[in-house]
Structure 1
Amino acid sequence: MQLPDIIFKFHLLCKQMRLTNLMFADDVLMFSNGDATSMMLLLPSFSTFSKTSGLKVSASKTNAYFNGVPEELKRTPLVAWSTICSPKEEGGLGIKDQKIWNKVMVGRLVDWVATKKDSIWVQWVNVNYLKGRDWKDYTASPNSSSVWRRICRVKQELSVGYSYGKWTVQPEGYTPAGCYEWLRGSLPKVDWYGVVWNNWNLPKHRFMGWLLAQNSLHTNSRLLEFGMDIDDSCYLCGLAYETQPHLFFECLYSKQCADRPGSKVQKGVQTAMVMGDHIAAMAAAEQMQS
């Protein structure tokens, strides 16, 4: 692959050899400098490879590694992980936050010690670590194992939930589900929940509707922000800048679909109008930032 140095910048350790890729039996490694132009020039190589070989790149087995690259050049996720881990009613996807969940499961061991659970492990902890000291005020020694120090750190984080050695956050005592909700906190229910997450929406339509509510659809305006050299006009009408509000509520083609009597498209577009205020507010916020 011959690419001019003026446009494409080679990786620092590959420049002398003009090396852009290494191919193995079932793997391909590709290298470039970390600037946006070089990476955008490298991406079409994947589609060229597919057209030439008949093979398709497996997205699940593809990774990108950066070194010394500014944060703004790295791939930005469509939606923040904290939002994804929120319940659907609060605007997320209902996926458990594994960091919090791990802390919750360690917290179960903390509760066993606090409540003096009838367990050989608890007896062993009392004999070898606590040695008659109060669990509430206990501090792990720097020489203790890393696992025990971790348990003691979680104890400190959960200490506000205990009173006289009992977990008081839930009346039934310590439960993983209850502790998770307590650590995660809660947000107000979003007004578009019922529009996106209902029984008659197809799964892919639910996900697209969720991305729409998060202002994360890859419209031409957003792709331009990512540095792609494309036309920013609407693909459907070609009359305006393609943004989410335009695509769903201002585009002439979308309006024609919504006005077509009895069509499924009409029902879908009219239902999406419920989200109009939400999207308009996001558009106003974007204009204020710009």
Structure 2
Amino acid sequence: MEACTSLRELNAARDSFLQQKPKTQWIAEGDNNTAYFLGNLLTQINATNITLIPKCETPTSVKHFRPSACCNLIYKTISKLLGLKLKHFMFGNDLLMFCKGNAQSVMLLMRAFSSFPKASGLSMNNSKYEVYFNGMEEVLRSDIKQVTGFIEGSMPFRYLGVLIQVGRLTKKECNVLTEKMVIRIRSLGAKKLSYAGRLTLINSVLNTLNNYWASMFIIPKSVIKRIERSCRNFLWDGSSEYHRVPLVAWEKVTLPKDEGGLGIKKADIWNVAAVAKLVNWIYSKSDRLWIRWINQIYIKNLDGLDYNPPTDATWSWKCICKVKE
């Protein structure tokens, strides 16, 4: 019994030591299984193809592409196992960092950037970094760009597939969402599918594109109509365009199945319900960094149910507050 206990303690100490290694050191040394995974596997298994996927319609530089690994199933399984050993690391992909618009705050931020390569063994690619300003003089902007070496970005910009902007979300800025749905409909090639097959694709494929945006913004009504029109046309004709009278009214189609409908979610109701989840998180003070910031800056010590946004609040915050009504 004592021998088993000692062995468990030794294994726990070894794992604790490995978790404290920098990423590059762990990859070089690894644990007891690393040598087998990296040295004894067949070449046909221990290999992958890398392809570049464009992130925009007309890419003009390397930063407009996203690398994607085309791996086989065994390779992916082994990668998942190895990834569990690296789960305590934070990677700097798609990361937004904020600071005050003064030289001192920027210098502190750059000091944190300089410590990242030392701790992780990874290097920074300055060509992929951009700095954004709001309400700052041109002289201070130039000084900050010179200190950081970053290029100045313009609003709005895309982050994790959605637009980050200052003002109201307009129909024009939502074109990317509706265009994605049209492109996806054309790629599905569902002309020969039955109505049941198209219904399944609407719920599992098309609505997921809308749900992602709907969980963060109140989408304009004109865009909601375009989304529902695309889904309706796809249901009855398998394409993005349908010029005949639908067999059943859309209001009937979007009813629950137990009420005689097909169970397709109405886009406007789903949008409000998804944003209402954010309202619940905010007023229940969920343990999330952005919610703590909202309560500290906006709500403060006020009762959330009686709170009204100030007139100079952002459009997004006003929309979230309006949902609770």
**TM-score (structure 1 length as normaliser):** 0.28
**TM-score (structure 2 length as normaliser):** 0.25
